């Protein structure tokens, strides 16, 4: 699905402040073909608009997914602060996502933020953006692919590191057999998480592939697998909604397995507080959306490149357990964690 929330347009910046940023832009934009003449005739940075810089964020999120609502809210907060006209678009189909990026390039936006869940699908659109001198930053997915894809910066969690941390956590909890539920086959971030769990977990790890667009089917498949193998004592999911579904599946299967997850939302935090979910790994999606948009503003107005263009800016992992869930609950209720 494609979501197109209203763009926001805020007052233009003062010409004096923009003129002061021009000299910095000349040195900071070389990766995208900027020249020494990087300002418009009225002193605005190249690509800026009278009503503010235009940025498009294109993710692979599905409509109604609370995780992506948090990404969007972070992006909107940064846009409001920076006076950016923001358009948020999403399509879980990689071809559809690629088309949205190409549309943004044709619209002549000043910056693009995107996810690299399927890096190969984004290679062409990113090259088109670079050819048009449009800076592109990555967020959330593609930490191993962002540099080779030609992105300027990256904001997210190292999913392999997060997976290994979960594997260590399972060892601490004395688990023996973990089921890692992958709700989107081929998604590099989800695959990296489960591979990371397997790398450090001393017990058995197996992946269970499900169709994340059909939650009833997800529940049924998890229930069936738990009934088939009562040695499974841990279910690891890759999203808060899937964790809550797994809790019901465990009960339906009359299994003794515990449930833990990557990512969280308000209901998930309450489930951790209540003991129904052991722990969650928070990659801070609000922060990812915020930093990605803010980074494009900083690049356009001051030539800044977070991480120097060679290292990602990590937003996780952070463990949310029963011991600290209360301190996170208020933010989760507000839709920012």
Take residue 152 and report the two structure tokens written for it.
């300027």
In the prediction, which pLDDT does 43 show?
37
- Would you say residue 168 lies in a domain? yes
Residues 91 and 98: their CA atoms lie apart, in Å, by 9
- Would you say residue 331 lies in a domain? no
Residues 195 and 87 in one domain: no
- Would you say residue 208 lies in a domain? yes
Residues 100 and 198 in one domain: no
Which of the listed residues 251, 282, 313 is the one where a domain comes to its end?
A: 282
In the prediction, which pLDDT does 14 show?
37
Write phi, then psi, for 43 (nearest 5 degrees).
Answer: 95, 0
In the prediction, which pLDDT does 275 show?
96
In the prediction, which pLDDT does 11 show?
37
Residues 288 and 278 in one domain: no
Number of domains in the chain: 2
- Would you say residue 133 lies in a domain? yes
Do 151 and 137 contact (CB within 8 A), yes or no? yes
- Would you say residue 108 lies in a domain? yes
- Would you say residue 22 lies in a domain? no
Residues 273 and 163 in one domain: yes
The candidate with the shortest Cα–Cα distance to 34, out of 98, 130, 118, is 130
Give the sign of the dihedral formed by CA 168, CA 173, CA 179, CA 180: negative
Residues 57 and 12: their CA atoms lie apart, in Å, by 21
Residues 203 and 233 in one domain: yes
Residues 122 and 188 in one domain: no
In the prediction, which pLDDT does 65 show?
85
Residues 231 and 252 in one domain: yes
- Would you say residue 98 lies in a domain? yes
Do 166 and 260 contact (CB within 8 A), yes or no? yes
Residues 120 and 176 in one domain: no
Cis peptide before 99 (omega within 30 of 0): no
pLDDT tens figures, 228-279: 999 999 999 999 999 999 999 999 999 999 999 999 999 999 999 999 999 9
In the prediction, which pLDDT does 231 show?
98
Strand residues in the chain grouped as ranges (E)? 54-59, 85-90, 111-114, 136-139, 154-156, 177-182, 204-209, 234-237, 258-262, 279-282, 313-314, 318-321
- Would you say residue 300 lies in a domain? yes
Residues 71 and 182 in one domain: no
Assign residue 260 the CATH number of its domain.
3.40.50.2300
Residues 148 and 164 in one domain: no
- The domain containing residue 230 runs over which residues? 159-282
Residues of the chain below pLDDT 50: 1-50
Residues 298 and 205 in one domain: no
pLDDT tens figures, 27-55: 334 344 443 444 443 333 444 443 589 99
- Which pairs count as long-range contacts for 249-252, CB under 8 Å and 24+ apart, including other chains? 249/218, 249/219, 249/220, 249/222, 249/223, 250/222, 250/226, 252/219, 252/223
Residues 47 and 35: their CA atoms lie apart, in Å, by 13
Residues 275 and 194 in one domain: yes
Do 210 and 238 contact (CB within 8 A), yes or no? no
């Amino acid at each position: 699905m494609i979501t197109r929330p209203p763009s926001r347009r805020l007052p233009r910046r003062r010409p004096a402040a923009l003129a002061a940023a021009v000299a910095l832009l000349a040195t900071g934009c070389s990766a995208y073909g900027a020249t020494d003449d990087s300002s418009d005739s009225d002193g605005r940075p190249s690509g800026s608009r009278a009503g503010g810089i235009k940025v498009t964020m294109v993710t692979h999120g599905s409509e109604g997914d609370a995780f992506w609502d948090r990404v969007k809210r972070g992006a909107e907060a940064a846009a409001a602060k920076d006076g950016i006209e923001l358009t948020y678009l999403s399509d879980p189909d990689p071809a559809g996502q690629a088309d949205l990026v190409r549309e943004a390039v044709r619209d002549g936006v000043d910056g693009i933020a995107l996810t690299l869940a399927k890096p190969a699908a984004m290679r062409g659109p990113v090259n088109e953006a670079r050819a048009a001198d449009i800076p592109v930053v990555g967020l959330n997915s593609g930490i191993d692919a962002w540099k080779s894809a030609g992105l300027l910066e990256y904001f997210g969690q190292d999913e392999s590191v997060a997976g290994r941390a979960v594997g260590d956590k399972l060892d601490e909890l004395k688990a023996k057999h973990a089921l890692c539920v992958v709700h989107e086959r081929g998604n590099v971030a989800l695959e990296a998480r489960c591979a990371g769990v397997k790398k450090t977990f001393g017990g058995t790890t197996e992946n269970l592939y499900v169709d994340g667009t059909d939650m009833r089917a997800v529940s049924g498949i998890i229930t069936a697998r738990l009934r088939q193998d009562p040695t499974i004592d841990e279910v690891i999911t890759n999203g808060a909604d899937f964790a809550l579904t797994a809790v019901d599946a465990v009960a339906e299967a009359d299994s003794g397995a515990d449930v833990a997850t990557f990512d969280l939302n308000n209901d998930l935090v309450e489930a951790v507080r209540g003991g129904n979910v052991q722990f969650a790994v928070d990659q801070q999606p609000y922060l990812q959306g915020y930093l990605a948009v803010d980074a494009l503003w900083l690049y356009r107005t001051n030539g800044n490149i977070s991480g120097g263009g060679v290292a990602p800016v990590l937003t996780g992992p952070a463990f949310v357990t029963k011991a600290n869930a209360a301190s996170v609950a208020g933010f989760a209720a507000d839709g920012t964690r």
